[in-house]
Amino acid sequence: MIASRPPEPEAHYDVVVVGSGFGGSVMTQRLSDAGLSVCLLERGKAYPPGSFPRSPWETGRNLWDPSEGLHGLFNAWSFRGLGGIVASGLGGGSLVYSNILIRKDKSTFVQDELETWPVKYEDLEPWYERHEEMLAATPYPFEPDPAKRDPAREPWDRTYKTNALHEAAERLGLEWLLPKLAVTFAANGEPALGEPILGEPENIHGRTRLTCRLCGECNIGCNYGSKNTLDFNYLSDAALRRGASIFTRCEVKTFAPRP
């Protein structure tokens, strides 16, 4: 269930999750899959395909600052020497991040006399795989070798930034790779621009998504549903197939014990 209202005051759940970003959405899906009754509270609203602002007027008000009557997507945080943008919406940061899924390098998990991590890369590897599968992670369909390029796939092979990065890496003798992205490029095996993605499980928005159109608007919200944001996978599975209750427009400010 998903509702844009608070849960009933006397409602009882085994677990209450606050926030629907990468932590909250995964937790909601995992715990509801384990048979627990789960309530997820998200302060922002749901953003189905086509609802992300694009006009200057809409974008100018697309900020999260309830004290100013703003309930938009972007929440700007400012600290001394550091600033950040976080998202306020169903799916959290997945709505505005760059869709890049890179695993921590094995060298990160230090094991020596000065520093010892409690986990090793090998401990996380099956969970990396499970998460990548859930987000349908796939590399950008770019062929770096011009001799192997197929004219039918030109839209992806001639993106300027990809070519520039590949050329720069070759000149500098650096390793170059295509990381996995949480974006759907192909509907039926072969990449195609703006094709309906059919045959996938129902999502909480009840909308048909389209494959990536290369519009470059990932970080301001994908209006075509091409990004595999958390509302289309973890949250849809939790709400539609595991029985979790999701409430939007519910900001948690305090916790208090009850009898």
- In order, the DSSP letters of 207-250 are ---B-------GGG--TTS-B--GGGTHHHIIIIIS--EEESS-
Confidence of residue 166 (pLDDT cuts 50, 70, 90): very high
pLDDT of residue 258: 77
Residue 238's alpha-carbon distances to 13, 137, 247, in angstroms, are: 14, 20, 13
C-alpha distances in Å from residue 104, one per residue of 25, 49, 125: 21, 31, 10
pLDDT digit string, tens, across residues 174-224:
999 999 999 999 988 889 999 999 989 999 999 999 999 999 999 999 999
pLDDT at 97: 95
How much is the pTM?
0.92
Domain range 1-98+229-254, CATH architecture: 3-Layer(bba) Sandwich (3.50)
Which of 226, 215, 6 minimizes the C-alpha distance to 95?
226
